[in-house]
């Protein structure tokens, strides 16, 4: 965490209205800009980037990303996300992914004439075709494949193993041939999102080779593949080691493969969320109490998993920083932390309410602010915000000019 971010967090906590709600998220737009520019500078000419809004659907972030012409559009996974996306993007810039889409969701997507629906199964294809037939229109779809390839070094796997995602590769040709008979569908290509949270770029390059070979086989069998949607996959480092996914090398080798396979005329899609916004976010919460119970110290904060569920849900800690406020002690036996291993826990009536654990803290006192970095993706909206009905954390934007405003 740099000095500018600490300064801005101090500014936020100096606002009188925040004192009564001592928790917030801060999103740095300059970090988002840097990520998008880095992709744009290195990306192949036939690559389209879509923002995966599930990572962070904050309206101010959606509007900011829309300013970058390089980002082709937005990827959604629900009717609610469709409604939010339509406020910022044209329907023709929207891709709909995810398993278990309802008739209502599919109907709204079709009526709005979005760009693509990533179809997860033959049942879903039947539903899409039925709705399209009733509306007398054609719908462009991609068929999602659960490939036989397993990507090593990923945080989460969605292919190469038994998951709810996509059509089993072994069944794909048979299913594809059946769906070709559905008269109101245009199969534009395939969706092959396999894993997320990958930091070593060579793992994704190996997967690209596998997918390109699969496409060659499908085209040899007579199938038309205009679009290959790789989903996401690019990870960020949740430690203080500052490891970075090598975007430059990844795109350089991807470019080589595109030429080797003669796939320049195909549209390649990346649905990126975590890489674009993950490192822009900071979750902050004030220390309410400190206890030493049975030989172990506990820092108790105003917000817990109700505001920041990702660490405990993934069993992966975020980098922790303490901003010292030097507030006077409240009473005689008040505890402090000095070079101790601590659990940092929220106000909920459950032992699982931890935002960090076994964390080495040099110094902390009541009134200080705990900051969890890498909190821009799958944090605010992925938390149990209404559990115990605590007040919601505020969300603030740090714009390119260094100005802060509430989102």
Q: What is the pLDDT of residues 228-252, one digit of tens each?
A: 999 988 999 999 898 999 999 999 9
pLDDT at residue number 90: 95
User: What is the Rg, in whole angstroms, of the alpha carbon atoms belonging to the chain?
Assistant: 23
Give yes or no for a contact between 304 and 345, defined as CB atoms under 8 angstroms apart. yes
**Structural domains of the chain sorted by starting position, each given as residue range(s) with its CATH number in brackets:** 3-27+279-406 (2.40.37.10), 97-272 (3.20.20.10)
Question: pLDDT for 287-305, tens place per residue?
Answer: 999 999 888 999 999 999 9
Residue 332 neighbours by CB under 8 Å, 6+ apart: none
φ/ψ (deg, to 5) at 213: -65, -40
Give the bridge partners for 395, in sequence order: 25
Question: pLDDT for 119-163, tens place per residue?
Answer: 999 999 999 999 999 999 999 999 999 887 666 764 655 555 567
Q: Which two tokens stand for residue 401?
A: 């000019």
> pLDDT-derived band of residue 17, with 50, 70 and 90 as boundaries?
low
Question: pLDDT for 317-330, tens place per residue?
Answer: 999 999 999 989 98
């Amino acid at each position: 965490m740099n000095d500018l971010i600490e300064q801005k967090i101090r500014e936020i906590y100096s606002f009188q209205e925040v004192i009564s709600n001592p928790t917030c998220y801060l999103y740095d737009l300059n970090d988002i800009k840097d990520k998008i520019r880095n992709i744009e500078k290195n990306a192949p000419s036939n690559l389209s980037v879509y923002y995966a809004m599930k990572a962070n659907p904050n309206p101010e972030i959606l509007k900011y990303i829309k300013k970058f012409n390089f980002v082709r559009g937005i990827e959604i996974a629900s009717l609610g996300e469709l409604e939010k996306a339509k406020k910022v993007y044209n329907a023709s810039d929207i891709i709909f992914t995810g398993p278990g889409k309802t008739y209502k969701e599919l109907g709204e997507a079709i009526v709005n004439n979005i760009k693509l629906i990533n179809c997860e199964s033959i049942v879903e294809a039947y539903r899409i075709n039925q709705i399209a037939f009733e509306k007398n229109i054609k719908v462009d779809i991609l068929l999602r494949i659960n490939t036989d390839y397993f990507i090593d070094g990923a945080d989460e796997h969605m292919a190469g193993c038994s998951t709810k995602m996509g059509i089993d590769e072994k069944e794909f040709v048979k299913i594809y041939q059946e769906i070709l008979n559905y008269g109101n569908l245009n199969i534009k290509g395939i969706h092959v999102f396999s894993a997320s949270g990958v930091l070593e770029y060579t793992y994704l390059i190996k997967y690209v080779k596998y997918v390109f070979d699969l496409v060659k086989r499908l085209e040899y069998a007579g199938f038309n593949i205009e679009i290959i949607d790789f989903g996401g996959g690019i990870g960020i480092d949740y430690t203080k080691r500052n490891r970075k996914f090598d975007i430059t090398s990844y795109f350089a080798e991807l470019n080589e493969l595109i030429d080797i396979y003669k796939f320049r005329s195909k549209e390649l899609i990346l649905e990126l969320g975590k890489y674009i916004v993950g490192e822009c976010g900071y979750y902050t919460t004030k220390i309410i109490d400190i206890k030493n119970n049975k030989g172990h110290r506990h820092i108790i904060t105003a917000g817990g998993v109700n505001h920041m569920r990702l660490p405990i849900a993934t069993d992966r800690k975020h980098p922790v920083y303490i901003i010292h406020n030097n507030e006077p002690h409240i009473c005689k036996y008040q505890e402090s932390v000095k070079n101790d291993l601590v659990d940092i826990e929220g106000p909920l009536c459950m032992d699982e309410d931890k935002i960090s654990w076994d964390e080495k803290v040099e110094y902390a006192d009541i009134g200080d602010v705990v900051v969890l970095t890498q909190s821009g993706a799958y944090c605010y909206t992925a938390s149990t915000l209404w559990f115990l009905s605590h007040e919601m954390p505020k969300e603030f934007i740090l714009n390119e000019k260094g100005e802060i405003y509430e989102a």
